A and B are shown apart, each in its own frame.
Chain A
Amino acid sequence: MGGRSAIVGFYPIAQSWIFLQTMRRMVKIFFRESEFESPGKITIRELIKGLGLNPQSVLAVKEGKLVSNETRLGTEGEIKLVSVISGG
């Protein structure tokens, strides 16, 4: 029984370790006041479309630099999406 509970006890730790690893390997997306996460490995265009936005209406900025919609995301880092539509 003791051995089993040790294994059972181990699972949550293992799970949270794996969870933390995946957490770390996420791309953080900032858009207006919202924050999202993406596992990455997709292009910025795919990311923008996946968020239901029009690629004409937003630009992507990575580490302060403009990046084109064809850029493929890695598995971590931060991307800021800037809305370009203004009106009034």
Chain B
Amino acid sequence: MGVHRCRKCAADSVINMPQHKLALCGEHFLAWVEKSTFDFIHKHRMFEPEDRVLVAVSGGKDSLSLWAILLKLGFHADGLYIDLGIDDGCGYSKRSVDYARKFAQSVSPAAELHVVDVGALYGKTVAELAARRAGGRKKLCSVCGLVKRHEMNRAARELGYPVLATGHNLDDEAAVLFGNTLRWEVEYLVRQAPVLPSGEHGLMKRVKPLARFYERETAAYAIVSNIDYIEEECPFSKGATSIRLKESLNSMEIGSPGTKLNFYFSFLRARKSGIFPGCERPALKACEKCGQATAIPGLCAFCRLTDPEIASGRENDGQEGLPGLENASETDISRL
């Protein structure tokens, strides 16, 4: 098999996407990703050109590519880095924020980076918060997801951004979908979408503009556009269920290209046509402490987690999270 030629200009292709029967050179690949992102944003009414968008960045390929694409498309997009204090001997959070900062410098002054330091704000890193309860890594990721969602929402509210954008790609979405389907978690399935609408009590709109791209495409975008990103994974992601689910989907993809794409988009169509009736989002209340939206009366799951008095006592598994967003179970790969 010879090198596939770019469909647009006949130069050597740098990527072949069998699910679209499309091979492209670097230049045309970047243009294709940008145009497709724009169309996806428009189709799902994610935000308008005048909206200020807050992009949750982790220093990884997806979120930095997303930030770059939105800026290239002319949107007013700023970055938000949540320092979770993940260390585990490798200084993961510290190194990740360096990548986010480096990228922010390259786009300054058109865009700025906001940094939220969880340890400095709440006196405990995510690992320390999770260490208070049994359950090991699974619990840690669940606590981490809860903290990220709470802090992203708080930052968007306080900084005046009507929309939060995350770098979830199609593999992330398909893996969550696969995991939830295997367990028939209908209440989570009904809420999985590229747009999570805003709600009462300051629940901000959350969008996933890259949800139509395979993970290798978001990585390819970062490589072709010379974005320096952290290649290592969070040390706590080793052995995660989400990775096993992705590998299973990728094995199927090799045999029949387009499996992941079909799985996700036919789910979205089925969901839209109402296959999950009667799964309304529960009515939201305001948390008595932080004022953010929660489905439970009293304190929200985040405030129960960070409250020193409650934390020193029993309870709270950190699973509740903000309604309208995905669950905080292990398959929630809503890493930033």
Q: Would B14 and A86 count as touching, CB distance under 8 A?
A: no
Q: Would B223 and A88 count as touching, CB distance under 8 A?
A: no
The smallest beta-carbon distance between A80 and chain B, in angstroms, is 10
Q: Would B2 and A70 count as touching, CB distance under 8 A?
A: yes
Contact partner of B251 among A43, A54, A87, CB < 8 A?
A54
Q: Would B1 and A88 count as touching, CB distance under 8 A?
A: no
Q: Which of B186-194, B240-248, B306-314 lies at the interface?
A: B240-248
Q: Does B41 contact A (CB under 8 A)?
A: no
- Residues in A neighbouring B335, C-beta threshold 8 A: 86-88
- In the bound complex, CA of A71 to CA of B14 (Å): 9
Q: Does B155 contact A (CB under 8 A)?
A: no
The smallest beta-carbon distance between A35 and chain B, in angstroms, is 16
Q: Does A8 contact B (CB under 8 A)?
A: no
- Residues in A neighbouring B254, C-beta threshold 8 A: 54-56
Q: Would A86 and B2 count as touching, CB distance under 8 A?
A: no
Q: Does B71 contact A (CB under 8 A)?
A: no
Asked if A84 meets B3 with Cβ closer than 8 Å, knowing A65-B14, A68-B14, A68-B16, the reply is: no
- In the bound complex, CA of A61 to CA of B214 (Å): 18
Q: Does A82 contact B (CB under 8 A)?
A: yes
Q: Does A22 contact B (CB under 8 A)?
A: no
Q: Does A16 contact B (CB under 8 A)?
A: no
Q: Would B219 and A87 count as touching, CB distance under 8 A?
A: no
The smallest beta-carbon distance between B270 and chain A, in angstroms, is 24
Chain B 7-50 interface mask (CB, 8 Å, partner A; 1/0): 00000111110000001001000000000000000000000000
Q: Does B304 contact A (CB under 8 A)?
A: no
- Residues in A neighbouring B214, C-beta threshold 8 A: 56
- Residues in A neighbouring B243, C-beta threshold 8 A: 85, 87
Contact partner of A59 among B2, B62, B223, B242, CB < 8 A?
B223
Q: Would A87 and B16 count as touching, CB distance under 8 A?
A: no
Residues of B at the A interface (CB closer than 8 Å) are 1-4, 12-16, 23, 26, 60-62, 141, 144, 171, 175, 214-216, 218-220, 223-224, 231, 233-234, 236-237, 240, 242-243, 246-247, 250-251, 253-254, 333, 335
Residues of A at the B interface (CB closer than 8 Å) are 43, 54-59, 61, 65-72, 82-88
Q: List 18 interface pairs A-B (beta carbons < 8 Å), by A numbering.
A: A54-B247, A54-B250, A54-B254, A55-B254, A56-B216, A61-B223, A66-B15, A66-B223, A67-B14, A68-B14, A68-B23, A71-B3, A83-B231, A85-B243, A86-B60, A87-B233, A88-B141, A88-B144
